A and B are shown apart, each in its own frame.
Chain A
Amino acid sequence: MSKEMTIHLKYWKQNGPNDTGHFEEYTLNNVNEHMSFLEMLDVLNEELMLDDKEPVEFDYDCREGICGSCNLVINGQAHGPKQRVAACQLHMRNYNDGDHITIEPPRAASFPVIKDLVVDRSAFDRIIEAGGYVSVKTGSAAEANAIPVEKEKAEDAFDYATCIGCGACVAACPNASASLFTGAKIAHLNKLPQGEVERKDRVVAMVDQMKEEGFGDCSNYAECEAVCPVGISISAIAEMRRDYMRAMFSGD
Chain B
Amino acid sequence: MKLESQEPGGPLEEKWEKHLKNINLVSPNNKRKYEIIVVGTGLAGGAAAASFAELGYNVRSFCIQDSARRAHSIAAQGGINAAKNYPNDGDSIWRLFYDTIKGGDYRSRESNVYRLAQVSNEIIDQAVAQGVPFAREYGGNLANRSFGGAQVSRTFYARGQTGQQLLLGAYQAMMRQVHNGNIKYHPRHEMLDVVVIDGQARGIITRDLVSGEINRYEADAVVLATGGYGNVFYLSTNAKNSNVTAAWRAHKRGAAFANPCYVQVHPTCIPVSGDYQSKLTLMSESLRNDGRVWVPRKKGDERHPNEIPEDERYYYLEERYPAFGNLVPRDVASRNAKMVCDDGLGVGETGLAVYLDFRDAINRDGEETISSKYGNLFEMYENITGENPYKRPMKIYPAVHYTMGGLWVDYNLQTTIPGLYAAGEANFSDHGANRLGASALMQGLSDGYFVLPYTIGDYLAKQEPGKRYGTDHEAFQEAENEAQAQIDKLLNIDGNRTIIDFHRSLGKIVWDKIGISRSEEGLKSAIKEIRELREEFWQNVKVPGEKNNYNKYLEFAARVADFFELAELMAQDALDREESAGCHLREEYQTEEGEALRNDEEYSYVAAWEYKDLNGKLEETLHKENLEFEFVELKQRSYK
Binding site for B on A (CB under 8 A): 2, 15-16, 32, 34-36, 38-40, 42-43, 45-46, 49-50, 54-55, 57, 59-69, 82, 84-85, 89, 91, 93, 114-115, 118, 120-122, 124-125, 128-130, 132-145, 147-151, 154-155, 157-158, 161-162, 164-165, 188-189, 192, 194-195
Contacts and interface: CB of A to CB of B under 8 A. Distances in A.
Contacts of A134: 129-131, 172
Given A66-B164, A149-B140, A122 B187 contact: yes
A43 B210 CA distance: 23
A148 B158 contact: no
20 contacts: A36-B278, A57-B550, A60-B240, A61-B239, A64-B282, A68-B69, A89-B383, A114-B550, A115-B549, A122-B66, A122-B187, A125-B67, A125-B187, A133-B175, A139-B122, A141-B125, A141-B130, A144-B125, A154-B135, A165-B67
B498 A49 contact: yes
Interface in B489-513: 496, 498, 500-501
Contact of A145 (B138, B142, B165, B386): B142
Contact of B70 (A67, A118, A151, A188): A67
A26 B380 CA distance: 30
Nearest to B47: A138
Contacts of B133: 154-155, 157-158, 161, 188, 192
Nearest to A148: B140
Give the one of B131, B165, B168 with max A CB within 10 A. Answer: B131
A46 B498 contact: yes
Contacts of A129: 175-176, 178-179
- 6 shortest interchain CB distances as A-B pairs: A148-B140, A141-B129, A133-B172, A141-B125, A115-B550, A158-B133
Give the one of A120, A157, A162, A195 with max B CB within 10 A. Answer: A162
B124 A34 contact: no
Contacts of B544: 49, 54-55
A141 B122 contact: yes
Interface string B158-172: 110100110010011
Contacts of A147: 128
A57 B550 CA distance: 8
A63 B84 contact: no
Contact of A141 (B66, B68, B128, B550): B128
Interface in B207-245: 210, 239-241
A114 B453 CA distance: 36
B278 A67 contact: no
B273 interface: yes
Contacts of A122: 66-67, 187
Given A63-B240, A64-B380, A55 B553 contact: yes
Contacts of A128: 69, 171-172, 175
A139 B50 CA distance: 12
Interface residues on B, range: 35 or more
B278 A42 contact: yes
B190 to A, nearest CB: 13
A64 B210 CA distance: 24
Nearest to A151: B136
Nearest to A30: B276
B126 A145 contact: no
B130 A15 contact: no
Contact of B384 (A89, A130, A140, A194): A89
B380 A89 contact: yes
A242 B282 CA distance: 40
B274 A2 contact: yes
Interface of B: 47, 50-51, 54, 65-70, 72, 74-75, 84, 86, 121-122, 124-131, 133-142, 158-159, 161, 164-165, 168, 171-173, 175-176, 178-179, 185, 187, 210, 239-241, 273-274, 276-279, 281-282, 379-380, 383-384, 386, 449-450, 453, 496, 498, 500-501, 542, 544-545, 549-553
Give the one of A16, A135, A136, A165 with max B CB within 10 A. Answer: A136
B553 to A, nearest CB: 6
B67 A121 contact: yes
A49 B544 CA distance: 7
A38 B500 CA distance: 14
Contacts of B129: 134, 136, 140-142, 194
B16 to A, nearest CB: 14
A128 to B, nearest CB: 5
Contact of A39 (B134, B135, B276): B276
Contacts of B171: 128
Contact of A61 (B50, B65, B185): B65
Contacts of B240: 60-63
B276 A42 contact: yes
Give the one of A50, A65, A142, A145 with max B CB within 10 A. Answer: A145
A217 B86 CA distance: 46
B377 to A, nearest CB: 11
A194 B131 contact: yes
A194 to B, nearest CB: 5
Nearest to A124: B67
A240 B274 CA distance: 45
A141 B126 contact: yes
Given A66-B164, A135-B176, A195 B131 contact: yes
B383 A85 contact: yes
Contacts of B550: 57, 114-115, 118
Give the one of A55, A138, A165, A194 with max B CB within 10 A. Answer: A138
Contact of B172 (A2, A36, A132): A132
Given A49-B498, A136-B130, A142-B129, A63 B65 contact: no
A64 B281 CA distance: 7
A161 to B, nearest CB: 5
A49 B187 CA distance: 27
Contacts of A124: 67
B274 A188 contact: no
Given A134-B129, A141-B128, A63 B67 contact: no
A158 B187 contact: no
A162 B161 contact: yes
Given A54-B544, A61-B65, A149 B179 contact: no
Contacts of B135: 154
B545 A54 contact: yes
A142 B549 contact: no
A233 to B, nearest CB: 16
B130 A49 contact: no
A129 B67 CA distance: 12
Contacts of A155: 133, 136
